[in-house]
Amino acid sequence: MDTSQLATLIPLSIGGVVALLILGAGYLVLAGRRPQAAEPPLETEDLPEFDPFVYGSPKDKRRALRRQGNPVAVMISDAEVQIRPYQGMVIDRSMGGLCLGVDQEIPVGTVLSIRPARTAELIPWVQVEVRNSRQIDGFYELGRQFVKTPPSAVLWLFG
């Protein structure tokens, strides 16, 4: 071997060794990051028979989750909107109905028409049926079910 061949072979050899060291170090780092095996699933006997967070309370007969929010003023009238509307407040709401606060007792089974108080006359009245009523601190809290579920754009107006 002459000197020119040796001058070419030494840098190539050093480069190859460095490349192998880098690849080996990368492999060791990545091998240490492999995901660990997942824990085996719980046996069915380890799970509770009834989970209220999954199934809801046995006392709650709702088909849709109810949510609270800021009270929204609504106008309330009879089913055909023949009487002069009076004001109430939405206390909570769901896809199935509303809970309203009013200052007068309304019999269970009564169908009423409601709409948000701060909307244009173009917003349709929504019919609801009074499902339950209870007096709390000088006003009546009415659980009302939609006779026909309104479009979601109208539902959003109730809060």
Query: Residue 90's domain is classified under what CATH number?
Result: 2.40.10.220
- Please report whether residue 124 resides in a domain: yes
- For 56, the token pair is 């809801």
- Please report whether residue 73 resides in a domain: yes
Select, from the ranges 46-50, 56-60, 86-90, the one with the highest average predicted confidence (pLDDT).
86-90
- Please report whether residue 50 resides in a domain: no
Q: How many domains does the chain have?
A: 1
Q: Where are the alpha helices (DSSP H) in 50-158?
A: 52-55, 152-156
pLDDT at 106: 92
- Please report whether residue 125 resides in a domain: yes
Arithmetic mean of pLDDT over the chain = 79
pLDDT at 70: 78
Confidence bin at 85 (pLDDT 50/70/90): very high
Q: What confidence tens digit (pLDDT) does each residue in 106-157 have?
A: 999 999 999 998 876 888 899 999 999 999 888 899 898 899 988 888 888 8
pLDDT at 95: 81
Range of the domain at 147: 64-156
pLDDT at 1: 67
How many angstroms separate the CA atoms of 107 and 92, rounded? Answer: 20
Find the Cα–Cα–Cα–Cα dihedral 156, 159, 100, 63, rounded to 10°.
Answer: 60
pLDDT at 45: 56
